[in-house]
A and B are shown apart, each in its own frame.
Chain A
Amino acid sequence: MSASWRSNYDNNEEEDGDDGIVTDAQETQWRSRDSILFVIDCSPAMLQPAEDGEIPFYKAIKCAMTVQMNKIISSDSDLVGIMLYGTKKSKNLTNFENIYVLQDLDAPDVNKIQQLEGIDDRTIDFDEEFGTSDGKYTLGEVFWTASNLFGSSAQRIGSKRMFLLTNEDDPHRGDISLRSASKVRAKDLQDFGIKIELFDIDKPNEQFDRSLFYRDILLGGFDDDEEEREEAENTNAKLGELLQRVQRKEVKKRSLFNIPLKLGPGLEFGVKGYNLVMSQKKGTHRNVYTLGEAVREVETVTSWICADTTQYITPTDLKYFWEFGGTKVVFTKEEVAAMKTFGPPGLALIGFKDRESVPMQLNILHSMFLYPDEQSYEGSTRAFSSLLTAMAEMDKIAICSFTQRKNYSTRLVALIPQLEVVSEHGQELPPGFQLIPLPWADDLRPLPIQTDYRPPTELIESAKAIISKLNMKKGFKPDNYENPTLQKHYKVLQATALNQQDMDIDDKTLPKTKQMHERAGAYIQNYKDVAGGVDLPVHENASVLTASLKRASQSQASEASQGSKRAKSTQPADDDGLRQEMQEKYDNGELKKATVATLKQFLVSVQRPHGGKKDELIAQVEQYFAP
């Protein structure tokens, strides 16, 4: 379940007839686990406060803690381990000195986080528990121990990465044999598929110089199937940005699909697709049985029974039907699957458009990100890069039809070029195409209300003053807003697990009303005063909603054949939407879904009896609408 987003798919799996279709969520479940081993230097330099008073070692511990907590939310089956080196005390299976395995590679857990919290808030005394060996350690043994930790993990691991946090750019200075031994071990690690990610930290007044030692260790490593090229390397080794750097690498980059982009006959190259933005959901609940000796997890066994013969049904004995005019119209599973498939996986270019032709209001699903795939087509990178640059310079977007993978439905999408942006903090935007799914006409709803009202300039100016006062200078950045629902959920779980009382969270999405008032209160007041003096707009037809809707729908090509071309607008002016809602529910047989309160409210409004239980209320509503 790692490296991608969970969805609530599990809940409705049974109701979904599309067995042949692989959903993102299912795919996600099959993903193997990622593992990260933090390897933290405990030499005296790491324990010296930097200019800003922060101590590198504790910063590193905080990073490890943050990663663990993030993993709990995003992918709780990933493995995280922590190993200290340069410690006075030792704890490892091979009895190497100066190596202390703090946490084996395992799924993140409450106790592990607590342990880190303890180190962080100094309730676990560093000197007493670990101590520093004053720079004495053997890096080769550190790497060896790391490889043993990966090797001995019983879990099946997808990716293995070692996060090395140190501010020593020249270990074993002068000792050629130790240095070469370290390099050999590092090579062994990489041959074993373990990627070393170096998080270098500047010492005060001394920049970390990779060329002294680490460059040789980091070069030439193959990273399993994923990225064949070293990512844009960060040249910045400031302590203050350590957490940010670790977080960027925290989730193993993993592509979602790998398909050809066909520009025309005989002209195609490979692209990989990634989900960079997608709604993160709460983990799905599990069922447990708590009445036994211990809490035991419960497995749900789902089976299908033929109502007519009361026999169990195997998947091969299943067909599918839709109700059509009161009759069950039956199809085989293959026929159903074939209805939505219109070609093999791939992106087929149809042509280019101006960027403005796909405004934000045409959004329908989350975007994806495309990057060249040199491994499936040789020459993809150059072709991709040429197209990207050309489109960006011409400010054009590409329209393609897109089938993500076999048996997936096909959609039209827009590819928006995005050039790389690098700042002093490293890569801000990766180079590639943003893939924006486009809506079909089927997915578009006309704007329901028309007006030709234009507020007076004075009012607009007054509003502009408020906007200026409450302007967020750096704009909106998702990083600043944690999802309060998720935060609360995991806080409650954590508190329950640890028997803590504190379940409050800091909801970052709440408006800062006090500051807002201080800054703009007077301006808002002014806006209200100005608005109060404005003549209210007059609309001849009070029922704006209904009238304009009819007009809007006239533009539909097929209206004539449907016969509703000249619909009349006889909706009563006081139609308050509630009626429509009820009518709709009635028409679709969904009255049961309405709340009792709504049912009552409606019955009151149409002066019908509105007492009794829900069933009785529904009966009343049905009676009202019945012909």
Chain B
Amino acid sequence: MASKEATIYILDVGATMRTKREGQNVSRLEETKGVLLKLLANKVHMNRKTVYVSVVLVGSDITKNQLATVDEDGNADYQNVDVLQELGVATLELMKGVQDDVNVGEAMGDCLDGLIVSLDMMTKFCKKLKYEKKIYILTDASSQINQDGTDTILASVREDNVEINVIGTDFDSEDGEPKPKTETQAANEAFYKEMAQGARGDVFSLDEAKQLTEEFYTKKVKPTAVYRGTLDLGDPEDHPDASLSIPVHMYPSTMVAKIPTAKKYSVLSENAAVEDLVGDGRTGIVNLSRTYKLKVTADMASGDSEAEEVTEVPEEALEKAYMYGKTIIPIRAVDLDAFKLRTAKSMTILGFFSASTFRREWLLSNIYSVFPAPGDGRAEVDLLGFVFALHEKNSYALVRYVRAEDAEPKLGILWPEITEEHKCFYFGQVAFSEDVRRYLFASLTEIHTASGKKLEKHRLLATEESIAACKEFIGSLDLMKADDGEEYLKPKTTFNPATQRQKQALEYRALNPTKDLPPIPDSLIAQLMPRQDLLAETQLYADKLIQLWDIKKIDQPQKNKRGYGASLGEDGEKEGVAQTSSGAEASTTASLIDGLTGNPSSKRHKSESVFGTASTASVAGGVGRASAFGGSGQTGLGRGDMAASGMIQFEMNAVREIRTSDPVKDFQDMVRIATIQSQQGVRPAGAGFITVSMAVEQMQAMITKLFSTSFGDQLYEKAIECLKSLRQFLADADMADMVHGGTGFEGKGKTATNMPEKTRETIQSRVETWNTFIKEVKATALNTATSPPRADFWELINKSRKELGLLTIKDVPAGCGGASEDEAEKLWAETSDTDMPLHVEDAEAPEEDDLLALMD
């Protein structure tokens, strides 16, 4: 509650509090102090400036209060009453004081003295202002009470609206056995009871109080309307008569109660020598510092990393920008404001619809309640008419809600709530089109074979038997009456364990700064666990499900991945072994390709981002696997270990891409890895082909780059070597055959008849690739539009025409394409062929950066 509170705790520390209760190993005082500390802790947790507490000790050896007097005759009033803290904010210091410095006194104190001192303090503090005033008396009720003037005291208590509660160590619990007690205690108990009841309070036994303070409680939040406005229907602008505008208030009905966020604390401050401290000693405060520097974009970085120094810019010079796809669009703050969607504060009904058409997963967040504006009878009539009508029609209203002027419009639905006490609407925000993902999921009841036949039995399909067993299981574990005939785990009886744990830990650490935190009490997490008593009842049915389902945990899901597609149409019995191995293959192939192309799986990607170690590790993983694969022909399992060790990282780095330093070797390595992989891989269709073609493409690009960016003829020789290497590879039919795992023929001179169709095709495409490429090289080199012209490079090629000419039908197995002799000769003609397309725009224009990079 947001009103101000003043609470005074009167703690009896009289001599009799030293004694222990039966069965306890600490004194009555220690037990009572425990309860008081808990009560104080709750006040501290509230952390509010307007919650005031005071602790008054009665029976103390010290007398410290404003009423204490000793008259001339030596008659002393209000002795042994010690005000430990005047009404003030609840602090940890006060708690520590109670814990460490409050001891049993020698004397016996009169709690009524304490009460009068407290009331006096209360009156002076609160004056006539509005306070919630409470007094707690914690006592063993053993000392004599001077009951003089009790009536007057109580009258003033009532007048001042003070609530008095008494916690007695030996009081009887409401539903317990009467406790042994002295005559005085019994008399006092009766007296306190009457007094408390007269002051709107109550009496509690210590055990009751302990239990209550141990109970979880929630932080009370004052209902604050988040929207005070109107609920509109119709066209108020043009037809005010025929439209409604009902004043309503909207309050949160559910709202995530967040644990306050812990703030950062500096260990440096903790450990620093005194002389190193500046300012106000050891505060542990951590300050945030933000600086801004210009981002170095990729193209700049590749140019010259030295030149691009880190440039800091002042915060004032920053502008905001948003991404529109790839484009970054700076928008000045004023413009941003000007372009904002203008809206008026409102809640408007867009229409009504039947409740049955609504899906609850469209609710996006927490729920609010909508009431007629308090005290507005007209609004109540207008609104409740619709509450009841929607209820009777089992319908909801769709509304557009704008919290405040220019706030973002939201869509929500209103649905009626009618109980004995409450009549209102609930409001729940619902999804916009952009908020919904429309994924498709495979059916769980329909499985079709490749030929389209629907399967009735399959290892993935539920059976009548297992559904029936499930129903028995469900029936045996019903919570609707599990809590002594009541529903178990109603949300209002469940408490967030994290909130409670944080409070506990905070209290404990505050009072015991050097100790480790106590373990999590079972009571805290009991609600998160299955209940043992229910489990016992359900065991029979659970066992049956275990047996029926025969679920196996798969330890390495990556390797034993089971393709659903592959399982289609297969017999459930036979699929075991074959299935697993083909799954393994697929995943290995996939990860290999991922490795080579720098597309690690999403999981790896994630960890990289965390550690910022970029792609080398995962790429090494990919080829590590490949090498293990090709090298020793291990079985599918256990390959990952090799990869994990990263031992082949070096080799991997060498073949990830073709680089200028030694392109021929890079190319050969890359091709070799790809070939080994596809040769050893059981997949017949040439899983590695794409990878090989990538190597070829990269090589082509490298060659073009080399000769077209060469400074003079510096890089020509290298380019020629590359060309030779490329042609050699593309001309080699055996290589092509290996890709397809062919085994049927050796040597040259083979014919198309004994050659698999795929191999023939591959050879043909490779031959074409070379022939096309060398023509392209010619066109680029002889193109007079480029500067400088590279005719000299073509001359050089011409000199090696035997090794670099077109691949002719003579060079390749029959039926695998190849150019004619005439065509081959034509390549060496002076000018570029007219029938050959010239794609100047496709040739990579030399970039200055690359040129520089090549020169060093």
Whether A440 and B269, one on each chain, are in contact in the complex, defined by CB atoms closer than 8 angstroms, is no
- Given the complex of chains A and B, what is the CA–CA distance between A481 and B325 in angstroms? 23
Contact stretch, chosen from B594-602, B634-642, B728-736:
B594-602
Whether A556 and B220, one on each chain, are in contact in the complex, defined by CB atoms closer than 8 angstroms, is yes
- Given the complex of chains A and B, what is the CA–CA distance between A282 and B350 in angstroms? 25
Interface presence of A202 (CB below 8 A)? no
In the complex, which residue of chain B has the Cβ closest to the Cβ of A574?
A: B375
B694, chain A: closest CB distance, angstroms: 5
Which of A325, A463, A484 interacts with B341 by CB under 8 Å? A484
Which of B134, B262, B478 interacts with A352 by CB under 8 Å? B478
Whether A563 and B534, one on each chain, are in contact in the complex, defined by CB atoms closer than 8 angstroms, is no
Whether A307 and B380, one on each chain, are in contact in the complex, defined by CB atoms closer than 8 angstroms, is no
Interface presence of B471 (CB below 8 A)? yes
- Given the complex of chains A and B, what is the CA–CA distance between A490 and B324 in angstroms? 7
Which of B362, B393, B482 interacts with A478 by CB under 8 Å? B362
Whether B217 and A556, one on each chain, are in contact in the complex, defined by CB atoms closer than 8 angstroms, is yes
Interface presence of B423 (CB below 8 A)? yes
Contact stretch, chosen from B60-68, B76-84, B366-374, B794-802:
B366-374
Interface positions of A from 341 to 392, Cβ below 8 Å from B: 342-343, 348-354, 357, 360-367, 369, 371-372, 374-391
Cβ of B685: which chain A residues have Cβ within 8 Å of it? Answer: 184, 187-188, 191
Count of interface residues, chain A, beta-carbon cutoff 8 Å: 289
Interface presence of B107 (CB below 8 A)? no
Interface string of A214-234 (1 = CB under 8 A from B): 010001111011011111100
Interface presence of A474 (CB below 8 A)? yes
- Given the complex of chains A and B, what is the CA–CA distance between A626 and B606 in angstroms? 53
Interface presence of B574 (CB below 8 A)? no
A285, chain B: closest CB distance, angstroms: 4
Interface string of A295-335 (1 = CB under 8 A from B): 11111111111111111010011111111111111110001
Contact stretch, chosen from A45-53, A124-132, A583-591, A605-613:
A583-591
- Given the complex of chains A and B, what is the CA–CA distance between A549 and B348 in angstroms? 28
A98, chain B: closest CB distance, angstroms: 14
- Contact flag A511-B349 (CB < 8 Å), given A32-B602, A537-B380: yes
Cβ of A353: which chain B residues have Cβ within 8 Å of it? Answer: 478-480, 487
- Given the complex of chains A and B, what is the CA–CA distance between A463 and B125 in angstroms? 55
- Given the complex of chains A and B, what is the CA–CA distance between A522 and B299 in angstroms? 67
Which of A227, A360, A381, A507 interacts with B428 by CB under 8 Å? A360
Interface positions of A from 148 to 204, Cβ below 8 Å from B: 148, 151-152, 156-158, 177, 180-181, 184, 187-188, 191-193
Interface positions of A from 510 to 525, Cβ below 8 Å from B: 510-514, 516-517, 520-522, 524-525
- Given the complex of chains A and B, what is the CA–CA distance between A332 and B603 in angstroms? 29
- Contact flag A396-B266 (CB < 8 Å), given A360-B426, A567-B1: no
Interface presence of A566 (CB below 8 A)? yes
Interface presence of B422 (CB below 8 A)? yes
Contact stretch, chosen from B270-278, B712-720, B848-856:
B270-278
Whether B527 and A277, one on each chain, are in contact in the complex, defined by CB atoms closer than 8 angstroms, is no
Whether A443 and B477, one on each chain, are in contact in the complex, defined by CB atoms closer than 8 angstroms, is no
Whether B353 and A563, one on each chain, are in contact in the complex, defined by CB atoms closer than 8 angstroms, is no
Cβ of A290: which chain B residues have Cβ within 8 Å of it? Answer: 319, 330
Which of B212, B225, B693 interacts with A577 by CB under 8 Å? B225
In the complex, which residue of chain A has the Cβ closest to the Cβ of B129?
A: A627
Whether B282 and A308, one on each chain, are in contact in the complex, defined by CB atoms closer than 8 angstroms, is yes
B609, chain A: closest CB distance, angstroms: 4
Whether A326 and B93, one on each chain, are in contact in the complex, defined by CB atoms closer than 8 angstroms, is yes
Whether A313 and B268, one on each chain, are in contact in the complex, defined by CB atoms closer than 8 angstroms, is yes
- Given the complex of chains A and B, what is the CA–CA distance between A68 and B50 in angstroms? 56
In the complex, which residue of chain A has the Cβ closest to the Cβ of B465?
A: A386
**B interface: dominant SS:** mixed
Interface positions of A from 527 to 561, Cβ below 8 Å from B: 527-528, 531, 534, 536-539, 542-545, 548-549, 553, 556-558, 560-561
Whether A219 and B450, one on each chain, are in contact in the complex, defined by CB atoms closer than 8 angstroms, is yes
Interface presence of A276 (CB below 8 A)? yes
Cβ of B259: which chain A residues have Cβ within 8 Å of it? Answer: 339-340
Whether A481 and B433, one on each chain, are in contact in the complex, defined by CB atoms closer than 8 angstroms, is yes
Whether A286 and B320, one on each chain, are in contact in the complex, defined by CB atoms closer than 8 angstroms, is yes
- Given the complex of chains A and B, what is the CA–CA distance between A320 and B270 in angstroms? 12
- Contact flag A296-B295 (CB < 8 Å), given A481-B432, A481-B433: yes
Interface presence of A23 (CB below 8 A)? no
Whether A349 and B320, one on each chain, are in contact in the complex, defined by CB atoms closer than 8 angstroms, is no
Whether B213 and A561, one on each chain, are in contact in the complex, defined by CB atoms closer than 8 angstroms, is yes
Interface presence of B647 (CB below 8 A)? no
Cβ of B501: which chain A residues have Cβ within 8 Å of it? Answer: 339-340
Whether A534 and B381, one on each chain, are in contact in the complex, defined by CB atoms closer than 8 angstroms, is yes
- Given the complex of chains A and B, what is the CA–CA distance between A399 and B487 in angstroms? 12
Interface presence of B453 (CB below 8 A)? no
- Given the complex of chains A and B, what is the CA–CA distance between A481 and B367 in angstroms? 20
- Given the complex of chains A and B, what is the CA–CA distance between A249 and B438 in angstroms? 8
- Given the complex of chains A and B, what is the CA–CA distance between A266 and B547 in angstroms? 11
- Contact flag A439-B489 (CB < 8 Å), given A15-B261, A360-B428: no
Whether A267 and B545, one on each chain, are in contact in the complex, defined by CB atoms closer than 8 angstroms, is yes
Whether A517 and B313, one on each chain, are in contact in the complex, defined by CB atoms closer than 8 angstroms, is no
In the complex, which residue of chain B has the Cβ closest to the Cβ of A187?
A: B685
- Contact flag A152-B697 (CB < 8 Å), given A285-B321, A298-B294: yes
Whether B219 and A442, one on each chain, are in contact in the complex, defined by CB atoms closer than 8 angstroms, is yes
Which of B134, B262, B289, B392 interacts with A321 by CB under 8 Å? B262
Whether A360 and B360, one on each chain, are in contact in the complex, defined by CB atoms closer than 8 angstroms, is yes
A18, chain B: closest CB distance, angstroms: 7
Whether A299 and B241, one on each chain, are in contact in the complex, defined by CB atoms closer than 8 angstroms, is no
Which of B287, B367, B436, B439 interacts with A361 by CB under 8 Å? B367
Whether A445 and B509, one on each chain, are in contact in the complex, defined by CB atoms closer than 8 angstroms, is no
- Contact flag A343-B278 (CB < 8 Å), given A478-B433, A536-B381: no
Cβ of B365: which chain A residues have Cβ within 8 Å of it? Answer: 279, 363-366
In the complex, which residue of chain A has the Cβ closest to the Cβ of B280?
A: A308
Whether B462 and A389, one on each chain, are in contact in the complex, defined by CB atoms closer than 8 angstroms, is yes
Whether B294 and A299, one on each chain, are in contact in the complex, defined by CB atoms closer than 8 angstroms, is yes
Contact stretch, chosen from A57-65, A115-123, A453-461:
A453-461
Whether A386 and B381, one on each chain, are in contact in the complex, defined by CB atoms closer than 8 angstroms, is no
B42, chain A: closest CB distance, angstroms: 6
- Given the complex of chains A and B, what is the CA–CA distance between A538 and B441 in angstroms? 56
Cβ of B577: which chain A residues have Cβ within 8 Å of it? Answer: none
- Contact flag A483-B435 (CB < 8 Å), given A192-B593, A352-B477, A378-B554: yes
Whether B494 and A441, one on each chain, are in contact in the complex, defined by CB atoms closer than 8 angstroms, is yes
Listed residue (B204, B239, B264) with the most chain A CB atoms within 10 angstroms of its CB: B264
Whether A327 and B542, one on each chain, are in contact in the complex, defined by CB atoms closer than 8 angstroms, is no
Contact stretch, chosen from B115-123, B187-195, B409-417:
B409-417
- Apart from A351-B482, A388-B444, 13 more pairs, CB < 8 Å: A17-B264, A188-B687, A265-B535, A268-B551, A306-B268, A324-B45, A348-B529, A436-B361, A470-B351, A471-B395, A483-B433, A560-B204, A568-B161
8 shortest interchain CB distances as A-B pairs: A475-B357, A229-B564, A536-B377, A463-B389, A325-B92, A558-B217, A228-B564, A390-B470
Q: List 15 A-B contacts (CB under 8 A).
A: A106-B326, A277-B364, A283-B322, A295-B328, A309-B266, A324-B507, A357-B487, A361-B417, A374-B564, A460-B385, A475-B354, A483-B434, A496-B335, A564-B1, A627-B4
